[in-house]
Chain A
């Protein structure tokens, strides 16, 4: 049974995607680490235009979101989609084409951003000529995924596949809306509205469904138990799909965007508690009777920690969209801490769980457990410190601004927190390098033992 499912998978493909993704993760977060130093040592690398703060910032954000998360999402989907459909990938060559295209996109984007070419729109910085190629890449991916799912041999359509299919559609629509309209047509407040719509949907309608698809797949397999409730899966999926796209304007509360749009965004942000808690009930319900797995299985460890962070992020998110919270925390480091909790705390951890599940299959050998524990704990402790420090710094600066303290004084007041953030960030970055080394080592040892046989 297990063997036959494995036969649907192109192991080399999954392996290449995942290894590349982790390399991008290491690069993008190293850039983030360098950035964090510039906060308290502004003279650091400040005379080279290509390493200027804003340019590195754009590389960090886009690198983590598009180079790391999406390469990994593609890679993991080439694993779970064939297994869930009992069907080989519809277009394996297309998957390889996407691999080269996507890495070309990432490298072109890095070079362009370092040269200073950017669109001036948050999270849509990548120059427009690259955006065309991204759309082509999404189309290639869509053909591959829909082709595989439509010709599937398994009658049941598992919830992971719903999230995946919807995410492909959302990604295409959202990417086109967010990158073209505010750049060519939507001026002023309308541009802000669509920018908020776009960049919240990057997280909510692209990263979240693809991440949840992975978690929905990995958790039952790793915990060795079917998902707790199919009904909850349906509720979680459709409430997310309905509510999430309305929340974008909560990034521009108190702006000249019409007040009713802001109110819709706030109400829907609060309503997001529903899909999140539904999904989490489903996950924790699945764990019922299987909690011992938490100590034994690396994938379960990462999924459960990721779920806890997901719960926290999505409780924090609704709260911080409230007008009273916005007064203090908007424009501060608080939001930066929140963003890290979503992208690292929840979705990167889901992907790590998938890597610990998938890598043994595709490379033929279990990942080293001791290195795995280092990866887990360095990342967990580092991230926890970093998030706390950013939230504290954000609150302090927000309150000082309200107290009309001169701007520079507020910067000096939170500089000590930024120093701690750098050390916490270093822990996180080193945890990623541990993972990279672990994957490389396992693969090499597996190849050597295969040769010996």
Chain B
């Protein structure tokens, strides 16, 4: 009787409640954990908005349909997640959320910054039939949120999309932009506006190309540099002009390709080594290879 009492009182209640107080209650009392303020994209503190109306109802749909089973809302400050998804999670982001929806497994991508990433139409089409806008995805379709087609969403789909469009928009508050994605798009076009094509820029680009790119792509851009023989797939041949068709014809597409690299190939993400203006310079130089051919 005495021993069983010890087990129940010390190990059963004592240790367990001790842990609950230390890691459950004490952090709760820290003011930093109760903040409703986050740092916005321009580095200024901004209050977070509590969800109301359609978005608040949409959050319930998000829970009901189990979106949180496959999608996290939790961007970590490590593993390049900031570049991958957007701003890193802050305590303030979550402190109106009950229950919290940080999630545990990324069967699909993180949705912390989904707001403003796509249009409502895209979201409806994606929910109705994910493969229609995202070929090859394994996401579960939700046709029961629609009246037979993506153009006819039910009230619940409207609420859900309203909720998705609010995700991560608080960081854009006070910056003049509506969402992180609008802010980021503005950043990219701001770069393109700064660096204009000129013979001087092309010359700078040539230096960068000869230092970084020619080993694979060849000194004349023919895709036949010294390292090319051992590469599979072969590096792009810039002299033919076909590469532009494959990866999009606008400068911004090519910029993104250089910046992000080509997955599963030897082409690295140059954004980690080159500055944006350097990428633009090398881009203008690369374009001269095929122009010479045409000329």
Contacts and interface: CB of A to CB of B under 8 A. Distances in A.
Interface stretch (B24-32, B147-155, B200-208, B232-240): B24-32
A191 B98 contact: yes
A74 B212 CA distance: 66
A119 B138 contact: no
24 contacts: A42-B131, A46-B140, A52-B142, A57-B69, A118-B66, A120-B101, A121-B99, A150-B4, A157-B7, A161-B4, A184-B98, A191-B98, A192-B94, A195-B100, A197-B20, A242-B11, A255-B76, A256-B94, A323-B78, A327-B79, A404-B83, A407-B108, A407-B109, A409-B263
B46 interface: no
A58 B64 CA distance: 12
A258 interface: yes
Interface in A291-331: 323, 327-328, 330-331
Given A116-B65, A412-B136, A191 B72 contact: no
A46 B8 CA distance: 48
Given A46-B140, A52-B65, A177-B24, A120 B16 contact: no
Interface in A117-136: 117-122
A331 B16 contact: no
Nearest to B76: A254
B8 A408 contact: no
B124 interface: no
Nearest to A324: B78
Interface of A is mostly: helix
Interface in A406-450: 406-409, 411-413, 415
B184 interface: no
Given A331-B72, A404-B269, A149 B16 contact: no
Contacts of A47: 141, 143
Contact of A190 (B20, B28, B138, B142): B28
Contacts of B105: 331-332, 335-336
B33 interface: yes
B140 A245 contact: no
A306 B91 CA distance: 40
B12 A169 contact: yes
B66 A52 contact: yes
A35 to B, nearest CB: 10
Interface string B2-30: 01100110111101111110111001101
Contacts of A248: 23
A295 to B, nearest CB: 36
A166 B11 contact: yes
Contacts of B101: 120
Given A194-B24, A408-B137, A255 B64 contact: no
Contacts of B120: none
B94 to A, nearest CB: 3
B148 to A, nearest CB: 13
A418 to B, nearest CB: 9
Given A46-B141, A245-B16, A182 B99 contact: yes
B90 to A, nearest CB: 6
A360 B136 CA distance: 52
A189 interface: yes
Contact of A116 (B13, B66, B99): B66
B68 A120 contact: yes
Interface string A221-244: 000000000000000011001100
Contacts of B22: 246, 264
B161 to A, nearest CB: 18
Given A42-B139, A190-B27, A261-B27, A245 B264 contact: no
B204 to A, nearest CB: 26
B1 interface: yes
Contacts of B134: 408
B81 to A, nearest CB: 8
Interface residues of B, number: 78
Contact of B79 (A174, A187, A401, A407): A401
B163 to A, nearest CB: 13
A122 B100 CA distance: 10
A374 interface: no
Given A52-B66, A256-B94, A407-B108, 9 more contacts: A118-B66, A191-B94, A191-B98, A238-B11, A256-B93, A257-B27, A327-B78, A405-B264, A408-B134
A258 B23 CA distance: 10
B67 interface: yes
A149 B101 CA distance: 42
Interface string B44-75: 00000000000000000011111111101010
A246 B19 contact: yes
Contacts of A265: 23
Given A166-B7, A404-B269, A256 B99 contact: no
B89 interface: yes
A394 B139 CA distance: 18
Contact of B30 (A54, A183, A192, A258): A258
A133 B77 CA distance: 41
Contacts of A331: 72, 104-106
A68 interface: no
Contacts of A404: 80, 83-84, 260-261, 269
Interface in B260-293: 260-261, 263-264, 269
Interface string A386-407: 0000000000001011111111
B210 interface: no
A119 B69 CA distance: 11
Interface in B103-156: 103-109, 131, 134, 136-144
A361 interface: no
Nearest to A186: B28
A170 interface: yes
Most A C-beta atoms less than 10 A away, residue of B7, B17, B20: B7
Nearest to A258: B27
Interface string A160-171: 011001101110
Interface in B236-264: 260-261, 263-264
A287 B66 CA distance: 46
Given A165-B4, A254-B76, A197 B23 contact: yes
A39 interface: yes
